[in-house]
């Protein structure tokens, strides 16, 4: 393969990995924020349920977020490494929203998330919940800024090309047109829908797996844990419903600005078909599932265990569909990097095919390995449920699990003096396995 092809392939694979993490970050964020708020406002048994819900889903959110950042950093450097021509010609227009994204949205989001995790026992509950809401808002702002940059590539607006032929540079002429580009706005809302759908499927799939273990059948949940999974199931269904509605509405709305169609590539046609038919199926499910929540039918009806299995098995579906959708968008633009303005082969770096291949093997190999490990850990955490949650645990409990001696534990308080919002006595020592 040529260096251009290798650079494209490397970017596509790294972006796919990053995108899979972003889907869950944006889809799960609002649900964690709602659980956190309900915990802050609740008292008694309800407070226990929502505290566990916040800690469990917050931990899933964090472990997913971690690799999302790493993959995003690797991706951001790809422009400079392999497509310097894009920065030279369109850097002003394409780079500006990316600069806003990193300098403003991501900077705030990540700092706030750090405050949320490490200020767990230090801030009042209401403030603590507000910090997570701010994480969610800045996360969505960050995604929108990226969509503005990507929207410019698909449907360039609000710019002018200046300078002599062969050395032209794009300049922003109309910030409003750049930001309200339908390829940013409509597609952004379409992607938000895909994210909420992904979050919904994960909530529903994990809750179904645990509910199947509990057996259920009662009108009332048997304890705080079953209550937690019922709440997660409800939250997941509503998140998924909101997601599929947005996906459908803004998916079709996008056809308005895509005048050039999706190119001649047959793969694009197949992917488009797969994506649209899957979304239709999810739409049908979204019509049925909310009715099963009436009177808690989903938790009591006959044959529910079989349904739980189906819901758990379907968990990866929205991720596959979202990848198909992203491929349709990116492949549909080829051979252009900026539709109708700049071709990919005009902007690729002078690195040799061998150098690009070496970096492809190293970076893609590394990121795919880390992503698979991360998903495996997420699966184990999801299965472990509320057992030994580290997020929001008392420091002494965590250290006792690590086999800390008295001289270490002394610094972190006596065993049962209840640091902050910790869950009381704490579990028995796990011992060094």
Partner 1 sequence: MNAAAWAVLLTVLLVGWVVLDGAVQGAGATLLQDRGPDGKDKRREPAQRRVVLGAVGPLLLPGEVWLVAALGVLIGVFPHAEADLLAVGYPVAIVLVASWALRDAGIWLRSRRPGNVWRDVWDVVLVVASIALAGSWGALLGVAWGSGLVALALGVAAVVVTRLHGDAVVAWRLRRTGPLPVVVTSVMIAAPVVGTAIAAWPRLVGGAVSEETMAGLGIVALVVLPLILALQVAAWWLVSRPLDRRDTLFF
State which of positions 266-325 bind partner 1 (CB under 8 A): none
Looking at the Cβ atoms of 287 and 366, the one nearer to partner 1 is 366
Give the span between the Cα atoms of 64 and 202, in whole angstroms.
12
* Candidates 237-245, 252-260, 333-341, 388-396; binding stretch for partner 1 (CB under 8 A): 388-396
Sign of CA dihedral 240, 241, 245, 248: positive
- Least separation in angstroms between CB 282 and partner 1: 30
Q: Of 214-253, which residues contact partner 1 (CB under 8 A)?
A: none
* Candidates 35-43, 190-198, 253-261, 389-397; binding stretch for partner 1 (CB under 8 A): 389-397
- Least separation in angstroms between CB 314 and partner 1: 25
- Least separation in angstroms between CB 83 and partner 1: 9
Q: Of 40-99, which residues contact partner 1 (CB under 8 A)?
A: 62-63, 66-67, 69-74, 76-77, 79-81, 84, 87-88, 91-92, 95-96, 98-99
Q: Site for partner 1 (CB under 8 A): which residue of 1, 2, 107, 427? A: 107
Q: Site for partner 1 (CB under 8 A): which residue of 257, 283, 375, 412? A: 412
Looking at the Cβ atoms of 55 and 304, the one nearer to partner 1 is 55
Residue 433 touching partner 1 (CB under 8 A):
yes
**Which of 78, 316, 290 lies closest to 197 in space, CA to CA?**
316
Give the span between the Cα atoms of 353 and 357, in whole angstroms.
6
Q: Where are the alpha helices (DSSP H) in 257-352?
A: 266-292, 297-300, 304-313, 317-331, 344-347
What contacts 367, CB < 8 A, 6 or more positions away?
Answer: 13, 14, 17, 70, 71, 74
Give the span between the Cα atoms of 212 and 103, in whole angstroms.
45
| Binding track, positions 162-201, relative to partner 1; x by CB under 8 A | ---------xx--x--------------------------
Looking at the Cβ atoms of 86 and 323, the one nearer to partner 1 is 86
Q: Site for partner 1 (CB under 8 A): which residue of 1, 2, 45, 103? A: 103
Sign of CA dihedral 75, 80, 83, 87: positive
Give the span between the Cα atoms of 36 and 30, in whole angstroms.
10
- Least separation in angstroms between CB 365 and partner 1: 10
Q: Of 130-169, which residues contact partner 1 (CB under 8 A)?
A: none
- Least separation in angstroms between CB 173 and partner 1: 9
Looking at the Cβ atoms of 20 and 272, the one nearer to partner 1 is 20
What are the CB-based long-range contacts (under 8 Å, 24+) for 109-114?
109/135, 109/138, 109/139, 109/142, 110/69, 112/138, 113/62, 113/65
Q: Of 318-357, which residues contact partner 1 (CB under 8 A)?
A: 349-351, 355
Distances (CA, A) of 32 to 55, 281, 317, 342: 9, 27, 22, 42
Looking at the Cβ atoms of 45 and 416, the one nearer to partner 1 is 416
Q: Site for partner 1 (CB under 8 A): which residue of 413, 425, 427, 429? A: 413
Looking at the Cβ atoms of 147 and 204, the one nearer to partner 1 is 147
- Least separation in angstroms between CB 264 and partner 1: 32
Give the span between the Cα atoms of 202 and 318, in whole angstroms.
9
343 phi and psi angles, rounded to 5 deg: -90, 155
* Candidates 115-123, 197-205, 211-219, 261-269; binding stretch for partner 1 (CB under 8 A): 115-123
Looking at the Cβ atoms of 74 and 286, the one nearer to partner 1 is 74
Q: What share of the chain is helix, strand, coil (3-state, %, to 5)?
A: 75, 5, 20
Residue 427 touching partner 1 (CB under 8 A):
no
* Candidates 268-276, 278-286, 328-336, 373-381; binding stretch for partner 1 (CB under 8 A): 373-381
Give the span between the Cα atoms of 194 and 62, in whole angstroms.
20
387 phi and psi angles, rounded to 5 deg: -75, 125
């Amino acid at each position: 393969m040529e260096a251009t092809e290798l650079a494209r392939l490397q970017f596509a694979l790294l972006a796919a990995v990053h995108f899979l993490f972003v889907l869950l970050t944006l889809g799960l964020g609002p649900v964690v924020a709602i659980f956190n708020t309900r915990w802050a406002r609740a008292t008694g048994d309800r407070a226990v349920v929502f505290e566990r819900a916040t800690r469990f889903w917050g931990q899933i959110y964090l472990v997913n977020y971690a690799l999302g950042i790493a993959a995003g950093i690797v991706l951001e450097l790809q422009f400079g490494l392999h497509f310097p021509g894009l920065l030279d010609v369109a850097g002003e227009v394409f780079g500006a929203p990316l600069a806003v994204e990193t300098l403003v949205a991501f900077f705030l989001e990540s700092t706030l998330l750090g405050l949320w995790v490490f200020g767990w026992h230090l801030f009042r509950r209401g403030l603590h919940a507000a910090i997570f809401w701010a994480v969610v808002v800045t996360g969505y702002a960050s995604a929108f800024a990226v969509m503005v940059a990507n929207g410019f590539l698909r449907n360039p607006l609000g710019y002018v090309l200046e300078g002599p032929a062969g050395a032209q540079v794009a300049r922003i002429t109309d910030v409003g047109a750049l930001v309200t580009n339908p390829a940013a706005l409509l597609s952004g809302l379409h992607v938000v829908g895909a994210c909420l759908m992904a979050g919904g499927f994960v909530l529903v799939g994990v809750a179904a797996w645990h509910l199947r273990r509990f057996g259920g059948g009662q009108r009332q949940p048997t304890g705080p844990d079953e209550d937690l999974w019922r709440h997660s199931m409800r939250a997941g269904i509503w998140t998924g419903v909101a997601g599929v509605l947005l996906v459908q509405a803004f998916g079709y709305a996008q056809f308005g600005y895509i005048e050039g169609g999706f190119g001649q590539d047959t793969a694009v046609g197949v992917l488009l078909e797969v994506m649209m038919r899957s979304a239709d199926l999810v739409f049908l499910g979204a019509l049925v599932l909310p009715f099963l929540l009436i009177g808690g039918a989903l938790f009591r009806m006959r044959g529910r265990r079989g349904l739980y299995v189906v819901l758990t098995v379907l968990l990866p579906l929205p991720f596959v569909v979202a990848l198909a959708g992203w491929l349709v968008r990116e492949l549909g633009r080829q051979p252009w990097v900026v539709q109708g303005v700049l071709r990919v082969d005009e902007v690729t770096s002078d690195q040799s095919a061998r150098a690009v291949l070496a970096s492809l093997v190293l970076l893609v190999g590394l990121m795919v390995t880390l992503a698979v490990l991360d998903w495996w850990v997420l699966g184990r955490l999801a299965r472990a449920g509320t057992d030994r949650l580290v997020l929001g645990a008392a420091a002494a409990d965590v250290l006792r699990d690590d086999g800390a001696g008295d001289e270490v534990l002394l610094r972190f308080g006596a065993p049962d003096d209840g640091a902050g919002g910790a869950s009381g006595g704490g579990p028995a020592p796990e011992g060094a396995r």
